[in-house]
Structure 1
Amino acid sequence: MEDEEDLDMLGEQLYNLIYPRHMEMAGKLTGMLLELPSSVLAEMLKDEAMLTKGVEKALKALTQFDNTSKMESQGEDEVSVSSDSLGEQLYELVDIHNTGLTEKITGMLLEQKKEEVQKLLSDSALLEERIKVAVKTLKDENSMEMDVSDQSDPDDTERFGEKLFEAVQKIDGKNCADITGMLLEMDSKTLKQVLCDHAMLEQAVKKAQSVLVSDGSDAPKSC
């Protein structure tokens, strides 16, 4: 309850500072900034330069959302968005969250299909969710660095393989051994992401299942 009251108070203070400069968009801008951690908001209230920068990023984000909505309404045949343009737009939106990992997170999100990236540009809630997943993945990646290092102890590598096996087994109990062996051939960075992101793991398992089927193995059955 106290957290909600603190957030309301921060919102009122932000709104009062933003309104004189952006009367028509003060509400939207305040709402976007309130998605940031309260500690960051408190700093913004003390630092005018930081607040100005945050508002500018929020304005760019609103412009990107509007442009993306227009492009979607015109249809894919009429509008073609280049990968560079999508990357720039996504970078600006990710940067608003002040994670300190903007470049890495943007790169991770851009590995998705173009249609998925466009969804992120037009859906702030979905983007925020994906950013949280990416931050967790990167943090887990750092903590697991020794486990999957090329020069790591054989015991550490074995433990990593066991973790991967357990995760794969929940998706495909019949072919988990073969699939785990295939996934372990991936580079360590990708493996870390796969183990920390369930969606990526499911996608990797599906690809491995397709390979097994094409090789003439029994069709995989998920548990």
Structure 2
Amino acid sequence: MDEEEDLETVGEQLYGLIYPKHKENAGKLTGMLLELPGPVLSQMLQDEAMLTAALDRAFRALQMAQAPSEITCKDEDDVSVSSDSLGEQLFELVDVYNTGHSQKITGMLLEQHKDAVLNLLSDPKLLEEQVALALKSLTELNVEETDISDSSEADDIGEKLFLLVEGMDPLHANDITGMLLEMEPAAVQQLLSDHTMLEVAVQKAQAALDTPN
């Protein structure tokens, strides 16, 4: 119950600060900001600049939610232009949640169909659910990545790398793969996904092998 009481107190303080600037929407804006994590709210109450920035974002989100027709009534010619602004608008809304991954989450949400993105802009509840799901996926992804070096996946990575290296230098594939696997796991992953980087790394390894000890 303490947490609920704390939230109520914070809500009252926030409302008191928001009301003079946004009389009509003070209640809604307070509710939106109360979705943010507790530590962020505490900091906001002490930092007026931070509160003003969060308020601006929440207010813009509210305006978009109240007037989605302005976004949807675009001509077909504007589609390519509006895609950029859709990304900007979505980023503004996602950033309100202060997840620390606004850029990545926005990118994930923008992979959806344009109509689905427009729905997110006009439905704060739906957006909140999607942001939570994206954040969960990102967290799980990070956990998997940190486990890679300790698990059997390391063997899979070695095999994939060997096959790629073998295509470039069959004679020295074993030695070169061994050298590349001494790199950080994240760097090895990068080599697997970026052929140009892999070529450069293989050339460096070949040069090292050619150099007499």
Q: TM-score range by the shorter chain?
A: 0.5 to 0.7
| 2:94 aligned partner | 94
Deviation at 1:66?
Answer: 2.7
Map of 1:104 onto structure 2:
104
Return the alpha-carbon distance in structure 2 between the equivalents of residues 30 and 109 of structure 1.
25
The answer on whether the counterparts of 1:71 and 1:79 sit within 8 Å (CA) in structure 2 is no
The one-letter code matched in structure 2 to 1:12 is E
Contact 1:64–1:121 (CA under 8 A) maintained in structure 2? yes
C-alpha contact 2:71 2:118 (8 A) present in aligned 1? no
Post-superposition, which runs of at least 4 consecutive aligned residues in structure 1 deviate over 6 A? 75-79, 155-158
Distance in 2 separating the partners of 1:156 and 1:92: 38
Aligned residues: 158
User: Is the 8 Å Cα contact of residues 69 and 122 (structure 1) preserved in structure 2?
Assistant: no
**Matched residue type, 1:2:** D
Given that 1:109 and 1:117 are in contact with CA atoms closer than 8 Å, whether structure 2 keeps it comes out as yes
Structure 2 counterpart SS, 1:20: coil
Give the Cα–Cα distance (whole angstroms) in 2 for the partners of residues 10 and 78 of structure 1.
Answer: 46
TM-fit CA distance, 1:75: 8.7
Deviation at 1:145, TM superposition (A): 1.5
- CA offset at residue 144 of structure 1? 1.1
Larger helix fraction of residues: 2
Task: Say if 2:120 and 2:127, in contact at 8 Å, map to a contact too.
Answer: yes
Inter-partner Cα distance in structure 1 for 2:120 and 2:31? 18
Provide the C-alpha distance between the structure 2 equivalents of 1:71 and 1:109, rounded to a whole number of angstroms.
17
1:130-209, aligned counterparts within 5 Å?
Answer: 130-145=130-145, 152-154=153-155
How many Å apart are 1:3 and its aligned residue?
2.1
CA root-mean-square deviation? 3.0
Rounded Cα–Cα distance in structure 2 between residues aligned with 1:86 and 1:56: 18
Cα deviation digits, residues 27-68 of structure 1 (max 9, x gap): 121111111112211111111111111111111111222332
**2: CA distance between counterparts of 1:38 and 1:147?**
30
Is residue 122 of structure 1 aligned with residue 108 of structure 2? no
TM-score by structure 1 length? Answer: 0.62
Q: Cα distance 1:121–1:50, how it changes in 2: closer, same or farther (>3 A)?
A: same
Aligned to 1:44: 44
What SS does structure 1 have at the residue aligned with 2:97? Answer: coil
* Correspondence for 2:207: none
- Asked if structure 2 preserves the Cα contact closer than 8 Å seen for 1:94 and 1:102, the reply is yes
Instruction: Please say which structure displays the higher CA radius of gyration.
Output: 2
Verify the 8 A CA contact 2:105 2:134 in the aligned structure 1: yes
User: In structure 1, what residue type is equivalent to 2:108?
Assistant: M
1:155: Cα distance to partner? 6.2
Identity %: 55
What is the one-letter code of the residue matched to 2:154? D
Quote the Cα distance in structure 2 between the aligned partners of 1:16 and 1:147.
Answer: 47
Quote the residue 1:172 is aligned against.
Answer: none
Query: 2:158, 2:131 → 1: CA distance?
Result: 28
- Where do residues 51-90 of structure 1 align in structure 2 (5 Å cutoff)? 51-72=51-72, 82-90=82-90
Are the equivalent residues in 2 in contact too, given 1:147–1:157 (CA < 8 A)?
no
TM-score normalised by the chain length of structure 2: 0.65
